[in-house]
């Protein structure tokens, strides 16, 4: 799934889009990629001279991958009501294990845990291009009416 398909799956847009492509999908998981360019504006002020990607933005990449997974899982519901959008409803156990720097390529994985009512619970993880774990997190996403 290329960037154009990502744009169709979720409402996020640059400069707040942190998924470049989906590289693998299965019934219970999704894997995406994100190249972190040196030109990202947040690097100017987040540790000038020693640029580090903010953890909250690494987390956002995971949540966007979860939203893409949700859009596939609940495609029939979204087709029936196009005003539904994926929203984050819970974050827990976020753990940051290594730093992301300009030029890194992230592999973002989300895995389905369970569905309770309208909430989809997932686990997420991020690795860098060397296979080193960057972060792990548990979270939930649901569909909500757009404003």
Provide the annotated active-site residues: 46
- Do residues 3 and 15 lie in contact, with contact meaning Cβ atoms separated by under 8 Å? no
**HSE (side-chain half, CA atoms, 13 Å) at 125:** 9
User: How far apart are alpha carbons 136 and 83 in whole angstroms?
Assistant: 31
Residue with structure tokens 């470049």?
A: 20
Q: Which helix (H) or strand (E) holds 42?
A: helix 42-45
**Residue partners of 133: CB distance under 8 A and separation at least 6:** 97, 98, 125, 126, 127
User: How far apart are alpha carbons 89 and 112 in whole angstroms?
Assistant: 15
């Amino acid at each position: 799934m290329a960037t154009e398909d990502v744009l169709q799956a979720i409402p996020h847009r640059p400069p707040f889009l942190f998924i470049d492509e989906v590289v693998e999908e299965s019934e219970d998981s999704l894997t995406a990629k994100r190249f972190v360019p040196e030109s990202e504006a947040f690097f100017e002020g987040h540790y000038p001279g020693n640029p580090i990607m903010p953890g909250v933005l690494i987390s956002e990449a995971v949540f966007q991958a979860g939203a893409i997974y949700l859009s596939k899982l609940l495609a029939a519901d979204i087709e029936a009501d196009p005003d539904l959008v994926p929203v984050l409803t819970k974050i827990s156990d976020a753990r940051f294990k290594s730093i992301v720097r300009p030029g890194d390529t992230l592999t973002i994985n989300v895995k389905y845990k369970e569905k309770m009512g309208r909430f989809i619970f997932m686990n997420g993880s991020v690795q860098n291009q060397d296979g080193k774990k960057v972060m792990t997190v548990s979270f939930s996403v649901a569909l909500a009416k757009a404003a």
